[in-house]
Amino acid sequence: MHAHPLLNYAMQPHTAQLPATQSPTAQSQTLHSTMPAPRYDPDHLLATLIERLNLKNDAALSRALEVSPPVISKIRHRRLPVTASLLIRMHEVSALSIKELRLLMGDRRQKFRISDKHFKPKLIS
């Protein structure tokens, strides 16, 4: 079984071309700027969403995602992480998969693991 073309592409240098195994239809649906950043980079994710949705700026993106403009600003300036609910909303408005969105922001983890502390019961005294 072969790895997903975007995952292979994510590991290549910035000068690499899209894999030849993608069909012309898949290539046309692929983002103009598919190359994920080498590390966590919310700017790349937000800029790609703005481009893909044909928006003018962060304010328009905040309206499309139904969040306040300061949320986009805080994400861009790395004072707020991209939450799971926001990632789902980005998926809904852009039709990009969660995996593609995570690659765009530089998250290459194969699985997302929740901390053990989330599953421990609270002690009530």
pLDDT at 17 > cutoff 60: no
pLDDT reading at 29 higher than 80:
no
Tokens 């994710």 correspond to what residue?
Answer: 45
In order of their start, the domains of the chain are: 33-109 (1.10.260.40)
Give this prediction's pTM. Answer: 0.59
Cβ neighbour number for residue 125 with a 10 Å cutoff: 2
pLDDT of residue 89: 96
- 71-95: pLDDT as tens digits: 999 999 999 999 989 999 999 999 9
Q: Which residues contact 113 (CB under 8 A, 6 or more apart)?
A: none
Kindly report which listed range (21-25, 79-83, 99-103) carries the lowest average pLDDT score: 21-25
Residue 64: Cβ within 10 Å count: 16
